[in-house]
Amino acid sequence: MWMYAESTIKGESFIPYAGAFMGGSRSKMKVLTVNLADNKVTNFSYSGGGSETRGTTQGTPKNNES
């Protein structure tokens, strides 16, 4: 299995005040899965896609340690 992932922050995110509304990020991911038998390709599948978020609001990670 081969996987590629990329994420970038929009430049608008760095504009004071307006960045919270206009900013955000873009991400994309691609996955290629190859099945082999006796060193020959028997099957393969590819998937990919992307997403875009608006705003720069970030939550605080929770600590689940007990």
Tokens of residue 36, six digits:
């082999």
| Distance from C-alpha of 25 to C-alpha of 29, rounded to nearest angstrom | 14
Does residue 26 sit within a domain? yes
Task: Give whole-number Cα distances, 4 to 12, 18, 32, in Å.
Answer: 25, 31, 9
Q: How many structural domains compose the chain?
A: 1
The answer to whether residues 26 and 54 touch, using CB atoms and an 8 Å cutoff, is no
Host domain of residue 41: 2-51
| Distance from C-alpha of 45 to C-alpha of 2, rounded to nearest angstrom | 11
Residue pLDDT, tens place only, 3-61 = 989 888 877 777 777 666 677 788 899 999 999 999 999 999 999 998 887 765 554 45
